[in-house]
Each structure stands twice: as structure tokens, then as C-alpha cells.
Amino acid sequence: MKKVSLFIICGIILLTLGVVTANQWKEKDHKKPLELKTSYLFPEARTLPPFKLSDQQGQPFTNQQLMNKWSLIFIGYTSCPDVCPTAMSKLTAAQAQLNNHLDMQVIFVSVDPQRDTQDKLQDYINFFNPEFVAATAEHQVLMPFTRSLGFVYAMVGEEENYQVDHSASYALISPKGEKVAIIKPKSPDAGIPPQIKNSELISDITQIVAHY
């Protein structure tokens, strides 16, 4: 009789565990998807290959500087007439709001190392936001690094008056130093240049961080 009771108790315990596990899987499978407005979230985080840049202080900027905090990276150059100064101004406003919820650094990577010296990067960052990081390197380092972020750039023109065509997206890097999302400009209406709205940027990053 005792053995029968023991079997019954064990059966009830196993049944209860099975129901709990099934409910957990059900909840996971029906988890509400993120409602991202201007970002693409990678199904799996992507490890960045080793790199070594130099920041506006002349200090090494490597994978190690991406650890233990969220990072937002974009590329450009200090002579950029429109896209870069607009991004710098917008990101200054966005960072002030995002830092209320998380520790995030903004990194401007210059893809014009010939003209963007350490002093020039220092002045540029100080003008827009001294809290940002500005970094660069020679093209043999920049090319693979920017490709790993999903960005491209190219010099256009000749001699000293060349321009640099470059991606206008941002890469969101997790505190593990992995690329988790790309924030892309989009055009709200026909004829309007693509842009990244701060309200959508903040909403997307907040959701992604909570997701992780």
C-alpha cells in the first residue's frame, strides 16, 4: 500500500514538472517580438574580429574598450559636410536620454586617417560632445574593421579636395563586444532623404537592451 502511495506521489510530481516545463516552452515560443522601427536585430550576436585603432587621446582602442558597456559605433570624417555633424548632434541628444537607463558609449570612427589627425579628432569631439570617443587607423586596419560592422566607405575625388562616401548606419555592440543590431536610416516619405529619428533610435535600443 505504501509503495502504491509512493508511486502516486512521484507521478503527481513528474506530471507537475511536465506542466511547468510545457508552460515555460509555450511562453518562450509565444514571446512577443520586438517592435523595432529603424533597426535590424541579428538572430544571433556576431563576434567582432580583433582590431586596434587609436582614439583622440592617442590611446589604443581595441575590442577590450567595447567590453562591459553598450556601444554605438558609426563611421565618417571630420570634413563631412552634413551627415556626420547631424549624427553627432542627434546622438548627443539621444545619449543624454539613453544614459538614464544604461551605460552606453558613442564611438565615431574616422575613415579619413590622412586628414583626421589625433589633434583634429580631439577638437572635433570636444566641439560636439567630449564624452564621445573618436578613433581611427590606417586603411589596412579600417577596411576590415568597418566591413565587420557592415559598413563601407570610399574616397571620391582627387588630391586634397576628395570627399568620402560612407555608410550612415549605426552598429549596436553589446557589453560582450558583439554586434547585435544595425540601426538604419529610412525615408518617411518619397523625396525626403533617409534619416534616423532619435525617438525611434531610443525606442529600439531600449527594447533591444531589455531583450538581452
Count of CB atoms within 10 A of residue 113's CB?
Answer: 17
Q: What percent of the chain is modeled with pLDDT above 70?
A: 83
Q: What secondary structure letter does DSSP report for 36?
A: -
Contact between 169 and 74 under an 8 Å Cβ cutoff? The reply is yes
Name residue, grid cell 551605460. Answer: 103
What pLDDT is stored for residue 191 in this prediction? 66
Return the pLDDT at 193: 77
For the residues 33-62, what does the mean pLDDT come to?
95
Q: Report the pLDDT averaged over residues 1-11.
A: 48
Q: Which residue has the higher pLDDT, 175 or 211?
A: 175
User: Would the pLDDT of 41 be above 80?
Assistant: yes
Q: What is the 3-state secondary structure (H, E, C) of the chain?
A: CHHHHHHHHHHHHHHHHHHHHHHHHHHHHCCCCCCCCCEEEEEEEEECCCCEEEECCCCEEEHHHHECCEEEEEEECCCCCCHHHHHHHHHHHHHHHHCCCCCEEEEEEECCCCCCCHHHHHHHHHHHCCCCEEEECCHHHHHHHHHHHCCCEEEECCHHHCEEEECCCEEEECCECEEEEEECCECCCCCCCCECCHHHHHHHHHHHHHHC
pLDDT band at 133; cut points 50, 70, 90: very high
Tell me what the mean pLDDT of segment 80-100 comes to: 92
What spatial distance separates the first Cα and last Cα of the chain, rounded to whole Å? Answer: 51
Quote the CA–CA distance of 63 and 212 in Å, as a whole number: 20
- Kindly state the cell numbers that stand for 189: 516619405
Which amino acid type is present at position 104?
A: M
CA distances (Å), 185 to each of 169, 175, 197, in order? 6, 24, 8
Answer with the residue of higher pLDDT: 99 or 122. 122
The 10s digit of each residue's pLDDT in 137-170 is 999 999 999 999 999 999 998 778 899 999 999 9
Whether this model's pTM surpasses 0.75: yes
User: 158: exposed, middle or buried (C-beta count within 10 Å: 0-12, 13-18, 19+)?
Assistant: exposed
What mean pLDDT is predicted for residues 100-105?
Answer: 86
Q: How confident is the prediction for the chain on average, in pLDDT? A: 87
pLDDT digits (tens, 9 = 90+) for 54-79: 999 999 999 999 999 999 999 999 99
